[in-house]
Amino acid sequence: MSDHLAFQKEFAAAIGEPVRGALAVYRNTVIAGCVEALRANYPYCAALLGEDAFLALAVDYAEQRPPRTPVLALYGARFADWLEDQPVAAQLPYLSDVARFERLHLECLFAPDAEPLAMTDLANVTDWDALKLRLHPATRFDWATRPAMTIWLAHEDGPSGEDIALEWRAEGALFTRPRLRVSGLLIDRAMHRMLFGIRLGESVGAAALATAALYPDADPGACLATLVDAGAFAALA
């Protein structure tokens, strides 16, 4: 027992020391894998930061938040929150929100599949207060106080996203995968409210009434149609 305790103490002390030899090679390999995983999972953040700045941030993140699984396809779950506490947030205040939306895109890509709802499925509905919809398993949405989705879409449309005309406003993001390809859609407050209500279990009628009460200029019917066409809901059971 005493030998085992001594080994544990020596091992714990060694963790904080600079690594050498084979362990150093392994550590550097792990860090490199994490950096490449972050680059693949957050490509638009990498483009916004530039190669050198992104590399430095990615190495710092990998050292502070090492992976808990050998599968790195979904690595970086807390990357957006971590970015908010970094000095770069002062120069690029929208960066963490862009990262957050990139995360939603990634989750949408790896989510389970299901048949999407179509507007024709709702043709015979008469009691909207009784109708409850389920979000499609791949549907992800969120709201940001900065124009992060405009920036995301600009990078989606081109390799660099340069010369983005930004209107500094809050906006929402919706990611869906009704078939094989992930789609990103900029949504307004009314669509976000309707999605949020339906996710909480409100009926379509209740969500529409709440949306109309909060945003009198919105058309709840048009909001619903846009969301259905985007593939945000699963087919009726």
Cα dist from 40 to 20, 27, 137, whole Å: 29, 20, 23
Residue 157: band (very low, low, confident or very high) from pLDDT cuts 50, 70, 90: confident
- Mean pLDDT in residue range 51-73: 92
CB within 8 Å of 24: residues ≥ 6 apart = none
- Mean pLDDT in residue range 214-231: 97
**Per-residue model confidence (pLDDT) at position 69:** 86
SS3 sequence, 98-120?
HHHHHHHHHHHHHCCCCCECCHH
Q: What is the pTM of this model?
A: 0.85
Asked whether the predicted pLDDT for residue 165 surpasses 80, the reply is no
Cα dist from 6 to 11, 13, 19, 20, 164, whole Å: 9, 11, 20, 21, 59
**Concatenated DSSP letters for 45-93?**
HHHHH-HHHHHHHHHHHHHHS--SSS--TT--TTHHHHHHTSTHHHH-T
pLDDT tens per residue across span 25-40: 445 788 899 999 999 9
Dist CA 138 CA 104 (whole Å): 9
Range with the poorest average pLDDT among 37-41, 64-68, 223-227: 64-68
**Per-residue model confidence (pLDDT) at position 22:** 47
Average pLDDT, the chain: 89
Dist CA 131 CA 202 (whole Å): 9
Please give the DSSP secondary-structure letter assigned to residue 16: T
pLDDT tens per residue across span 107-143: 999 999 999 999 999 999 999 999 999 999 999 999 9
Q: Among residues of the chain, what percentage have pLDDT more than 90?
A: 76
Asked whether the predicted pLDDT for residue 161 surpasses 50, the reply is no
